[in-house]
């Protein structure tokens, strides 16, 4: 009879523990999936901006230089000055688009998921009987 009560108690608490772990894993997975979708969208947008910037720089270099060079030459009457002006305009537009792409691709990645996992791991490692030590003593290398 006592053995049966102990087995029932252990079974009850182990089932509760399994449910808590399941809820934690589901919560982390949900947050990670949402954050991964956002990161994927951010990276895709950055790559598209980079491709557009690079493509515009290349296209402008190949298709429009002859006409632009001729028009600028007609204004300044110097082929070298016309070439320098056209090159400066191309570099300016290309740089602006490539900077926008680099800004969009800048990390860090999945910040919320990493923070939540760190908090959960810290709370799981902390014992109920032991009070947390001050931050200066936590990294002393001693095992609690």
Q: Is residue 60 part of a domain?
A: yes
39 touches 110 (CB < 8 A) = yes
54 domain residue, yes or no: yes
Whether 95 contacts 57, CB under 8 Å: no
Average model confidence (pLDDT) for the chain?
82
Specify the pTM. Answer: 0.42
Nearest 5°: the CA angle 102, 103, 107 is 95
Tokens representing residue 6 in the block: 């102990």
DSSP, collapsed to helix, strand or coil, labels residue 125 as helix
What is the predicted pLDDT for the residue at 142? 44
Closest CA to 65 of 85, 51, 50, 49: 85
Asked if residue 99 belongs to a domain, the reply is: yes
Task: Identify the burial level of 45 via C-beta atoms within 10 angstroms of its C-beta, where 0-12 means exposed, 13-18 middle and 19 or more buried.
Answer: middle
Note the residue count of the chain. 144
- 115 found inside a domain: no
Alpha carbon distance 120, 127 (integer Å): 13
Q: How many domains does the chain have?
A: 1
Is residue 41 one of the residues assigned to a domain?
yes
Lowest mean pLDDT among 19-28, 97-106, 123-132: 123-132
The per-residue pLDDT for range 59-87, each reduced to its tens digit, is: 877 787 788 888 988 999 898 998 899 88
Answer yes or no: is 135 within a domain: no
Identify whether 139 is part of a domain: no
Domain range for 86: 2-106
> Does the residue 143 lie in any domain?
no
On whether the CB atoms of residues 109 and 43 are closer than 8 A, the answer is no
Higher pLDDT, 25 or 126: 25
């Amino acid at each position: 009879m006592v053995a049966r009560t102990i087995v029932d108690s252990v079974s009850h608490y182990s089932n509760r523990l399994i449910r808590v772990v399941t809820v934690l894993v589901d919560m982390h997975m949900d947050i990670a999936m949402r954050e991964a979708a956002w990161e994927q969208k951010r990276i895709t947008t950055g790559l598209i901006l980079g491709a557009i910037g690079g493509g515009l720089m290349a296209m402008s270099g190949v298709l429009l230089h002859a006409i632009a060079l001729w028009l600028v030459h007609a204004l300044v009457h110097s082929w070298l000055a016309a070439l320098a002006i056209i090159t400066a305009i191309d570099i300016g537009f290309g740089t602006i688009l490539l900077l926008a792409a680099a800004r969009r691709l800048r990390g860090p990645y999945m910040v919320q998921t990493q923070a939540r996992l760190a908090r959960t791991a810290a709370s799981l490692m902390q014992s109920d009987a032991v009070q947390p030590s001050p931050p200066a003593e936590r990294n002393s290398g001693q095992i609690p």
